[in-house]
Amino acid sequence: DTAVSQTPKYLVTQMGNDKSIKCEQNLGHDTMYWYKQDSKKFLKIMFSYNNKELIINETVPNRFSPKSPDKAHLNLHINSLELGDSAVYFCASSQQGSGNTIYFGEGSWLTVV
Amino acid sequence: GNSVTQMEGPVTLSEEAFLTINCTYTATGYPSLFWYVQYPGEGLQLLLKATKADDKGSNKGFEATYRKETTSFHLEKGSVQVSDSAVYFCALSVDNDMRFGAGTRLTVKP
């Protein structure tokens, strides 16, 4: 059983399109995250939700909109895709508490052409 | 703010060599510290962690000690294998805010 699963794993799309990446965790965690990893492997937090409420919202273009319908899901919607959005997007989850491990999904490889 | 600085790569070693990847941190509050590993084409996996000063995390022959006095959490392994080739990330967590270092790519040659 996959603990944190995200779909699709690969996505190639044209500039200007709108796309969504879905994420689900079956670990019973109360906190979920979206991270972006660029081509140099640099990992940057984008959003964090705790019990469906947004708690971290880094400087991210407002074309990116997270949605958490329940504690087990955190989807990422991206409007008007740009070339610079090409990256790997990782969903993750944890139980609230600084010492708790964050568990990552396998990543969604987004390529904007 | 909270941040992690780790040594830049890439690091290339021969099999059975000793590995050290340096990591230092800045944090408001009392962080927990982690090392994650990312194998090619995969997500990040927890390698080890330490939640308080002087704790030593260890796993698969890797270890790191939480040093509050030097704000460091250096990763070490006595004898690396080809299968250890991956990108290693140091991270800290304070109040559900987890920050990662830039990652260090390790290549181990036979």
Interval A51-55 mean pLDDT: 82
What 3-state class would DSSP assign to A83? helix
**Three-class SS of B52-95:** CCCCEEEECCEEEECECCCCECCEEECCCCHHHCEEEEEEEEEC
pLDDT at A98: 63
**Mean pLDDT, residues A53-59:** 78
Mutate to test the interface with A, among B98, B100, B107 (most CBs of A within 10 A): B98
Q: Find all residues with CB under 8 Å of A61, minimum gap 6, and list them.
A: none
B54 phi and psi, to 5 degrees? 75, -5
pLDDT at A57 over 80: no
What is the pLDDT, as a whole number, of residue B55? 96
Nearest CA in chain B to A56: B97
Provide, as residue numbers in chain A, all residues whose Cβ is less than 8 Å from the Cβ of B7: none
Dihedral pair phi/psi, residue A8, rounded to 5°: -80, 165
The confidence band for A65, taking pLDDT boundaries of 50, 70 and 90, is very high
In this model, does residue A58 exceed pLDDT 80? no
Q: What is the pLDDT along chain B (110 residues), one digit of tens a residue?
A: 889 999 888 999 999 999 999 999 999 888 999 999 999 888 899 999 999 999 999 999 999 999 999 999 999 999 999 999 999 999 998 877 788 999 999 999 99
Mean per-residue pLDDT of chain A? 91
Separation between Cα atoms, residue A1 and residue A36, nearest integer Å: 24
Per CB-CB distance under 8 Å, the chain B contacts of A92 are: 44
Half-sphere exposure of B63 (CA within 13 A, CB side): 10
The reported pLDDT for the residue numbered A51 is 84
Nearest to B93 among A4, A50, A98 (CB): A98
What is the average pLDDT across A85-110?
90
Q: Is B96–A97 a contact, with Cβ atoms under 8 angstroms apart?
A: yes
Q: Say what the pLDDT of residue A37 is.
A: 94
**pLDDT higher than 90, residue A21:** yes
Does any CB of chain B come closer than 8 Å to the CB of residue A90?
yes
Q: What is the pLDDT of residues A67-93, one digit of tens each?
A: 999 999 999 999 999 999 999 999 999
**Is A27's Cβ below 8 Å from some Cβ in B?**
no
Predicted confidence at residue B94, as pLDDT, reads 85
Choose among B39, B36, B33: nearest CA to B86.
Answer: B39
> Higher-confidence residue: A43 or A96?
A43
